[in-house]
Structures are given as structure tokens and as C-alpha cells.
Amino acid sequence: MKTKLRMVQASLLAALSLGGFACSAADTGGFSNTTGGDSYTAVTVTNLSQLESAVSSGQHHIIVSGTIYGGAGLTTLTFSSASNNNTTIEGAAGGKAVLENIQLKFDGELLASGTNIQNIKVSNLTFFGKISDLQAMPQQVYGSSDSTKKVGINYEGISLRRVTNALITHCAIYDTSDDLMSVALSSDNVTLSYNHLYFSDSWVNMSPDPVWNWVGYNTDLAGERLAMVVGANTSDSWQGTGKLHVTLHHNWIGPNVRGRPLFRGWIHAYSNYFDNSETYSGTDYNTATDGNKYPKQQYEALQLVNGSVVYSESNYFLKTNNTNTLTNDGSSYTDAFYEKNNTYSGTTGTSATGTTFSSPVSYSYSVTASASVPAYVMANAGPK
């Protein structure tokens, strides 16, 4: 049975009707004024040393060719200076550029208050974690204990922290030990388009299945299959900051995603395919649950938390469980959920129903009819 949408105050509704943000360029859906460093001379890299050198020397247009391995201990490449404004990192044509055990972290936290890293573009890349390396890190393996093992590393494919005007497009991200990606800390004007976010069957069925303590209690790595988070905490929300405007369109989320996207931002999500086509047997491990076990099935697709506003249109939800979940985090912020023309096919559990809306934005965009979304998105999402 569907739950009733919690209504927000009249003042909030008036603010929402303004659309929140605008785009001045031609129709690409979302923030088409994000160009990154496309106009700069490109530097092509084929190994980790070259990639690290390109980043540390402040190159603005980096092309990745082939597979680059970040090592068994993983590598985080951090962009934390205003000199990193106007940067593009992209894969070479053909869709075969891969960053294995490598996280791109765009992090403006150390900049002056009110200043973000600007104009970032990441495209045409595959990111993934090597399962055997991750298995070798944690302190414990389910059913046993080994104090000689190193502490596991929580990392994502792409992390945007205090970044304004970013475009992540035609990327594939899978099998990372935290969320696959995040948009947080007052980041703003972000477009996520034509990406494929998922976990492999090998991840779901990994053996041994390590136990990681990354949220204050032990939980098995195979069970932490989380797609994305927008907003890091209660104060880092659209209502709390006036930021976190994010457009998601034509992304393929799944299969094997257990939960999320989690939204604390101002979200326009259209023509995305939420694919929960895989079925599971057995349980996962979690010391915060009764009996230390919980079912492997997906627990939610979209999670809306206080401080968020979500416009969901022309999306396709296949066999998702508890599809639209409204989560009260105990803060004074409210949430608002709007939807139209979505397709829910074989969905289960409890799901919130949104209020119908007219176009929430001033930028131009073109939806794909929800019935056509799975075929279209699967054919077009990911690196090319």
C-alpha cells in the first residue's frame, strides 16, 4: 500500500515553484553550461604514474587510455584547489578506458567559505574496485576473525564535495566499497547523465565476504551495495544550504543495487532506469539487526530525506522494493515529492506517491517516455 505524501509549508511550496535554478545554454538536459576543461590542450595518460603527474601538475584536460590500476591499497586522486577549476577527465574514444581501484575526489572543503571548485566534467570512464584487493583489507571475514588484516578502505568512484557546475556523463561505476558516487557539502548545479551504476554478481556472491565497520557497526561488504548519496547529513541539504541542485537523467541504476540514491538535495530525476531484475536467496550480515542477518533483497530505490525536494518523471522502476521511501531524520526540515508519468513494473513493498507537477526548471530538457526508458537507457548509458 502506498503511503501519503507529507505536505510541506506554503512558503516552501512557493519557493519550489521558482524552479530553483536555470540553464542558459542549449538543450542537453540539466546544466549544459558545464564544459570542464574541454578547451584546454589534452594530455593522454596510460598508467598510474602519468595520471598522478597530470593531476599534481594541474592539467585541465586529461584523457585516460586503457586500464589504469590504482594498486592493492587503492589510490585517491584529490582536486582541492581553485586551480582545479575548469577540468575535464575523460576516457579515450571507444569506451575502454578504465580506472581500477581509483577514486576521483573533487574536494573544495579547504577553500574559503562560500567558494567551491568550479566547472568539472568527468566522462566516458569505467570505475570499479578489485574484489580480491578489498577482501584482503578488512579486519574480519564473516564467521572468523583475523587481527593481522588491515582496516578496509571506504571509497567511491567519484566524490563531489563543494563543487559547483559539474557534469558526470557516460560513466560506469561498480563494485566500490562505499556508495558508488556522492554529491555533497553544498555542491551545486550538478548533472548526472547516461551513467551506469551497479554491482556485479561477483560482488553479491563474494566469498569470503568481509565484515567492515564503516557505519559504527559491523556489516558485510557484499551487502553494502549503495548507489549514490546527495547531501552528507541533515545540515547538508537543499533546505539547509540552498544548494545541492542536481539533475539525473537517462541513468541506468542497477542491477544488484541494494539501496539508494539517497536524496537530501533539490532533485530533478527523469527518464532513469531503476533495474532490480536480479533475484536473491539467503541473507546478509549486520550486527545492528536481529540475529545478525537480513534479506539480500533491495530495501529501497529512491530515499527522500528531510530537507529534500524531488521531481521524478518518466522513470522506469523494474521490480524495485519500497520504491519511493520518505525518511524522517528528526530534523526540523520538511520534504516534498512530486512525480508524473513514471512506470512501476512488478514493484513490491510500500512506496510513497508524489504530487503531479508541471516543469520544475527553466532549462530545456527532453524526456524519453517511461515505457521506452529501459531499452533506450541500456543502449546508451555508460562509456562509448
Q: Do residues 64 and 45 lie in contact, with contact meaning Cβ atoms separated by under 8 Å?
A: yes
With 60 as the cut, is the pLDDT of residue 198 above it?
Answer: yes
Q: Which amino acid is at 165?
A: N
Section 40-46 average pLDDT: 98
Using pLDDT thresholds of 50, 70 and 90, give the confidence band for residue 31.
confident
Q: How far is CA 231 from CA 14, 19, 138, 208, 220, in A?
A: 23, 19, 27, 32, 24
Neighbours of 278 (CB within 10 A): 17
With 80 as the cut, is the pLDDT of residue 22 above it?
Answer: no
For residues 173 and 26, the model is more confident at 173
What does the alpha-carbon distance between residue 295 and residue 169 come to, in Å, rounded to a whole number? Answer: 33
What does the alpha-carbon distance between residue 198 and residue 368 come to, in Å, rounded to a whole number? Answer: 21
Section 72-80 average pLDDT: 95
Domains belonging to the chain, first-starting first, are: 10-36+131-380 (2.160.20)
Exposure class string for 93-127: b at 16+ Cβ within 10 A, else e: eeeebbbbbbbbbbbbeeeeeeebbbbbbbbbbbb
Contacts with 258 (C-beta within 8 Å, 6 or more apart), sequence order? 199, 223, 224, 225, 226, 296, 298, 299
Q: Which amino acid is at 326?
A: L
Contacts with 79 (C-beta within 8 Å, 6 or more apart), sequence order? 55, 87, 104, 105, 106, 107, 117, 120
Query: So what's the pLDDT on residue 323?
Result: 97
Query: So what's the pLDDT on residue 168?
Result: 97
Q: What is the DSSP string of 145-168?
A: E-TTSPPP----SEEEESEEEEEE
Rounded to 5 degrees, what are φ and ψ at 49? -60, -45
Exposure class string for 230-239: b at 16+ Cβ within 10 A, else e: bbbebebbbb
Query: So what's the pLDDT on residue 25?
Result: 33
Angle at 26 between CA 23 and CA 30, to 5 degrees: 45
Question: pLDDT tens across 246-290, in order?
Answer: 999 999 999 999 999 999 999 999 999 999 999 887 788 776 665
Query: So what's the pLDDT on residue 217?
Result: 72
**Nearest alpha-carbon partner for 23 in 161, 165, 119:** 165
All 3 cell numbers of residue 181?
A: 558516487
Percent of the chain scoring above 70 in pLDDT: 86
For residues 285 and 182, the model is more confident at 182
Lowest mean pLDDT among 61-70, 247-256, 328-337, 369-378: 328-337
Q: Do residues 271 and 368 lie in contact, with contact meaning Cβ atoms separated by under 8 Å?
A: yes
Section 231-246 average pLDDT: 95
What does the alpha-carbon distance between residue 224 and residue 226 come to, in Å, rounded to a whole number? Answer: 6
Query: So what's the pLDDT on residue 139?
Result: 67
Query: So what's the pLDDT on residue 150?
Result: 66
Arithmetic mean of pLDDT over the chain? 88
What does the alpha-carbon distance between residue 276 and residue 321 come to, in Å, rounded to a whole number? Answer: 8
Question: pLDDT tens across 286-343, in order?
Answer: 766 656 677 888 899 999 999 999 999 999 999 999 999 999 988 999 999 999 999 9
